[in-house]
Chains A and B, each alone.
Chain A
Amino acid sequence: MIAFFITFFGAVVLLFIGLNKRESSFSIFASGILFLSAFLCVATKFGWCNFGILESWVPTNMMQFGSEQLLFMGLLSFLTGFIILCFRESDIIGNDQLALMMFSLCGAYMMVSYQHIVVLFLGIEVLSIPLYVLAGSNKENIYSNEAALKYFLMGAFSTGIFLLGSAFIYGGTGYLELELMGIKPSFMHALEGMPIPVLINAGIILMSVGLLFKVSAAPFHFWAPDVYQGSPNRTTVFMATVVKISAFIALYRLMSTFGGIKSNWSGWISVLAIITILWGNLAAMIQQNVKRTLAYSSIAHAGYVLIFILIADGTNAWILWFYGLAYGIASILVFTISHQLYNTNKDDTFEAFNGLAKSSPIVALALVIGVLSLAGIPISAGFVGKFYLFSFAWQSYPILVCTGLLGSALGVAYYFKFIKHAFLKVGEKSPVIKDRGILIFLVLIILMAGVFPWILLRTFF
């Protein structure tokens, strides 16, 4: 809860002190707040500090801050902090933007820690509404406008679907509290004339479609490439990482609530996972735009994580956490480099990477490691994440794992485009890459998590 407060009030403060001023020091302030909140989450988890008073304000049937939630919140806060830090030089800079992002993060916190569908709904909306604005924050850019409108319309639409689903669930189970509605989904209040399982099943499908939209799982992913491409870079990476991870956490918690009737939904989730993995990887192969490619890549990753939704049993949330960390850091790394190159070349196709290895080899190396992590090649964190995921799923879902492996192989084809352009092509301009320290730090995180995952996981879980 403390993280929530700090983030929220930090955003408010930022909004007021920085009225009409545009300075990158705000970014440092904001990221400082976020790192602080991340740290506090971890500290609370380990019991180094106790904010029981704050916690007591929130009814436990509304939100819950167990150690799992705290770690997820810490992860999200940590990632957001890095996003803000890395994109200090964004051309759309402003304290209002930062504040919006932090508000959005508050929504993500709610999605992580909800115990009641109302909170989930509010979380989704608090997350989304600032994002609509952020997506369109490049006001003069027609692409940004288009992205915002698309995102908004489809987001609102999916909210409607989500709400219909929650209404059905409400009708089917009689509860909106997560704990209660999942207990015995089959017996519930008798509703005359309505086959209850149908209502519950439909409710589950509709609600999860609302969330699947957010994680951009096929066939609800169509917004993603367009919106990712049109939005300002910082917003894109925020959407690709924090939003996606939080939506997955929400989905995971929702679905594990209905773990008792897993057979009702495991089938179609599997199908969606397969479609998503294949679609994301295949469609990414022919893209020329970096952001679009990464959008498809994020779709593919959504497909992998859908496998986790299937295997989640309440004790292995750390897989999601680790995968989120690996994926998030690698995405931020690649997006940051691509963003900085964009600032030099005003080109967001792969051509921007041309000659990177010559002009700044260290950045090229960082790029390689980021890309390898996304592709899931040892010794990067991405590999370990995939390894955990696949090895846990092998037993029950071999076909999914095979698809995942196939997808990884397909993924190589486009991830290596980065390397191709950075190492093989000759570039005209030599881009100025700032923040090498941060990039190297990110690389180190990836490598540490890739080489010593057990140390990391044993510390936290």
Chain B
Amino acid sequence: MEVIIIPFIACLCVAILGKRTNTWLSALFSSLPLFFVYQYFEHLDSSGRWIALFDHAWISDNIRFTLAFDGLTGLMLILTNILVPIIVLAGIRNDENQCKLTALTLFMQAALNGVFMAQDGLMFYIFWELALIPIYFITLTMSGKFAFKITLRFFLYTFVGSLAMLASLIYLFLHTADYSFDFESLRAVELNPTQSIGVGAGILLAFLVKIPILPFHSWQADTYTEAPASGSMLLGGIMLKMGLYGILRWYFPLAPESIAFFQPWMIGLSVAGVLYGAIIALRQKDMKRLVAFSSLSHVALIAAGLFTLSAEGIEGGLLQMFVHGVNIIGLFLVIEIIEKSTGTRVLGELGGLAKNNRIFMVFFMLVALGTIAVPFTNGFPGEFLLLKSLYGYNPNLALLAGLTIIFSAVYILRMVQFSMFGEGKKAISPLSWNEILAFAILAFGIVGIGFMPQIIIDMVHKSVLIIATWISEANGILT
């Protein structure tokens, strides 16, 4: 409960204080939930079950306000509550709308924490939607004449997806014995394959849009590109993890009978998305757009891994979710600083930025290397596991998806080259302490996970095992 209330209170404070807000304090506040997350870990028992920490009757006696915790949730909470302070810190250069963005970001943090902890289906949906609202307003502060169109497209896309999920959840709810949205009750509903496919399709749609998987991605690039930095960071760093988390936490357990039906489609689409995003990213000139497509590619690989239903795929996917969050926020932070310093983020207009700011250069390089999954950076173990799981599913698909390690090297290094190397008149303005702090945390994440990925794997292992058991009970296809 604390992890929802604290950011919310912080959000209110920032909203009330307005321009007088101290960003350092806001960042401190937004990192407070980490402490509670740490405490929550003590509630875990060895079984890895999803343990309710807070439970109260809500919309009806059976539709309850239930917050639960396990390793999976823990990982997502850590991700959220580490990244949000960084996003808040990074926002300092954004003078005009800063307090507004900070307040919205904090609100978002509360909602995201809710999404990851919600054990009640309706609650999950509500937090899911709630997380959409601040990001909508954050993206709305973008400049440009297409702002409304882009945000509307984004909102409609995700909203339609969420409505489909709602419909599926209600359907399940009506079939529960006790008319409850509780996770366990929803899971206990026996569905025949047809029903399961219908329900699964609805739930999946919401997640696929959010991730996004290939045919549902067209909101993404524009939104990432045009949104203010904190918006892009929230979207790319945390929000799309909601979709992946949702697949694992809600789709797999609730409609396991349909997995066999969707698996080939999902993996096919994901692999197509991996290549599609990578190939498009090869030629982008706008750095944010490039990162948007690279994210499309990377995240599709995670989705593919999850759908292989193998331990490597799922746990590697979870690892990569965390990693991708760190990396993409790093990339967006870098781009933001470049844009704020030079006034542009178009590759052709940049160059030679490496020469005057060493810390920036080192960090940029580090993030770039993490993104292209060089060993001993965080990108490697996850990508290795994902490709391996995909190989176990189908070697040819793994080969296709593996092309991403070539393409990602091409486009990321191209971005590094055209912005940092060569001769150029523009220069990066000196970094402020908050940026250096943000860099330091992210850099620690990149290298630390690169060396010790097992920490994250251990965190989620038991929870994944339980979900895997459910899937195999329904299908018997898990290896």
A/B contact in complex, CB under 8 angstroms: yes
Q: Please list the residues of chain A having a beta carbon within 8 angstroms of any beta carbon in chain B.
A: 372, 377-379, 383-384, 387, 390-391, 394-395, 401-402, 405-406, 408-409, 412-413, 416, 419-420, 423-424, 452-454
Whether a CB of chain A sits under 8 angstroms from the CB of B276 is: no
Residues of B within 8 A of A391 (CB): 170, 173-174
| B156 touching A409, Cβ below 8 Å | yes
How far, in Å, is A376 (CB) from chain B's closest CB? Answer: 9
Q: Please list the residues of chain B having a beta carbon within 8 angstroms of any beta carbon in chain A.
A: 57-61, 63, 122, 125-127, 129-130, 132-133, 137, 140-141, 147-148, 152, 155-156, 159-160, 163-164, 166-167, 170-171, 173-174
| A454 touching B125, Cβ below 8 Å | no
User: A423 and B140 in contact (CB under 8 A), knowing A412-B159, A454-B57?
Assistant: yes
Within 8 Å by CB of B155, from A379, A384, A408, A416, lies A416
How far, in Å, is B395 (CB) from chain A's closest CB? Answer: 41
Residues of B within 8 A of A384 (CB): 59
User: A379 and B159 in contact (CB under 8 A), knowing A413-B152, A453-B59?
Assistant: no
Residues of A within 8 A of B148 (CB): 416, 420, 424
Q: Nearest 7 A-B pairs (CB), nearest first?
A: A378-B126, A405-B163, A378-B129, A391-B170, A420-B148, A409-B160, A394-B170
Residues of A within 8 A of B140 (CB): 419-420, 423-424
How far, in Å, is B411 (CB) from chain A's closest CB? Answer: 32
22 A-B pairs (CB sep. < 8 Å): A372-B133, A377-B129, A377-B132, A378-B127, A379-B130, A383-B126, A387-B166, A390-B170, A394-B171, A394-B174, A401-B167, A402-B167, A405-B164, A409-B156, A409-B160, A409-B163, A416-B152, A420-B152, A423-B137, A423-B141, A453-B59, A454-B63
User: A405 and B122 in contact (CB under 8 A), knowing A391-B173, A394-B174?
Assistant: no
Taking A387-B59, A412-B159 as known contacts, 13 extra A-B pairs with beta carbons closer than 8 A to each other, sorted by chain A number, are: A377-B129, A383-B126, A391-B170, A394-B167, A394-B174, A405-B164, A416-B152, A420-B148, A423-B140, A424-B147, A424-B148, A454-B60, A454-B61
| B57 touching A379, Cβ below 8 Å | no
Within 8 Å by CB of A405, from B59, B61, B137, B167, lies B167
Residues of B within 8 A of A383 (CB): 126, 129
How far, in Å, is A229 (CB) from chain B's closest CB? Answer: 24
How far, in Å, is B132 (CB) from chain A's closest CB? Answer: 8
| A379 touching B126, Cβ below 8 Å | yes
How far, in Å, is A360 (CB) from chain B's closest CB? Answer: 13
Residues of A within 8 A of B130 (CB): 378-379
Q: Tell me the complex Cα distance, A384–B173, Å.
A: 15
Q: Tell me the complex Cα distance, A394–B171, Å.
A: 7
Residues of B within 8 A of A372 (CB): 133
| B166 touching A405, Cβ below 8 Å | yes
| B133 touching A454, Cβ below 8 Å | no
How far, in Å, is A102 (CB) from chain B's closest CB? Answer: 35
Centre residue among B57, B59, B171 by max chain A CB count within 10 A: B59
User: A412 and B133 in contact (CB under 8 A), knowing A378-B126, A387-B122?
Assistant: no
| A395 touching B59, Cβ below 8 Å | no
How far, in Å, is B67 (CB) from chain A's closest CB? Answer: 15
Q: Tell me the complex Cα distance, A99–B331, Å.
A: 65
Residues of A within 8 A of B132 (CB): 377
How far, in Å, is A366 (CB) from chain B's closest CB? Answer: 13
How far, in Å, is B123 (CB) from chain A's closest CB? Answer: 9
How far, in Å, is A105 (CB) from chain B's closest CB? Answer: 31
Residues of A within 8 A of B167 (CB): 390, 394, 401-402, 405
Within 8 Å by CB of B133, from A377, A390, A405, A420, lies A377
Within 8 Å by CB of A395, from B58, B60, B63, B174, lies B174
Residues of A within 8 A of B155 (CB): 412, 416
Q: Tell me the complex Cα distance, A378–B173, Å.
A: 18
Q: Tell me the complex Cα distance, A198–B275, Å.
A: 64
Centre residue among A378, A420, A424 by max chain B CB count within 10 A: A378
How far, in Å, is A382 (CB) from chain B's closest CB? Answer: 12
Residues of B within 8 A of A423 (CB): 137, 140-141
Residues of A within 8 A of B137 (CB): 419, 423
How far, in Å, is B234 (CB) from chain A's closest CB? Answer: 18
How far, in Å, is A336 (CB) from chain B's closest CB? Answer: 22
How far, in Å, is B449 (CB) from chain A's closest CB? Answer: 34
How far, in Å, is A255 (CB) from chain B's closest CB? Answer: 23
Q: Tell me the complex Cα distance, A452–B167, Å.
A: 22
| B159 touching A409, Cβ below 8 Å | yes
Q: Tell me the complex Cα distance, A412–B159, Å.
A: 9
Name the residue on A nearest B140 (C-beta). A423
| A412 touching B174, Cβ below 8 Å | no
| B156 touching A413, Cβ below 8 Å | yes
How far, in Å, is A416 (CB) from chain B's closest CB? Answer: 6
Residues of B within 8 A of A413 (CB): 152, 156
Residues of A within 8 A of B170 (CB): 387, 390-391, 394, 401
Q: Tell me the complex Cα distance, A38–B163, Å.
A: 36
How far, in Å, is B98 (CB) from chain A's closest CB? Answer: 15
How far, in Å, is A356 (CB) from chain B's closest CB? Answer: 13
Residues of A within 8 A of B59 (CB): 384, 387, 453-454
Q: Tell me the complex Cα distance, A383–B147, Å.
A: 26
Residues of A within 8 A of B60 (CB): 454
How far, in Å, is A139 (CB) from chain B's closest CB? Answer: 39
How far, in Å, is B392 (CB) from chain A's closest CB? Answer: 38
Q: Tell me the complex Cα distance, A419–B137, Å.
A: 9
Q: Tell me the complex Cα distance, A377–B60, Å.
A: 19
Name the residue on B nearest A409 (C-beta). B160
How far, in Å, is A147 (CB) from chain B's closest CB? Answer: 31
Q: Tell me the complex Cα distance, A395–B175, Å.
A: 9
Name the residue on B nearest A395 (C-beta). B174
Residues of A within 8 A of B126 (CB): 378-379, 383
Q: Tell me the complex Cα distance, A439–B267, Å.
A: 50
Q: Tell me the complex Cα distance, A416–B61, Å.
A: 34
Name the residue on B nearest A391 (C-beta). B170
Q: Tell me the complex Cα distance, A408–B159, Å.
A: 9
| B58 touching A412, Cβ below 8 Å | no
How far, in Å, is B242 (CB) from chain A's closest CB? Answer: 15
Q: Tell me the complex Cα distance, A384–B129, Å.
A: 13
Q: Tell me the complex Cα distance, A423–B141, Å.
A: 8
Name the residue on B nearest A393 (C-beta). B170
Residues of A within 8 A of B160 (CB): 409
Residues of B within 8 A of A424 (CB): 140, 147-148
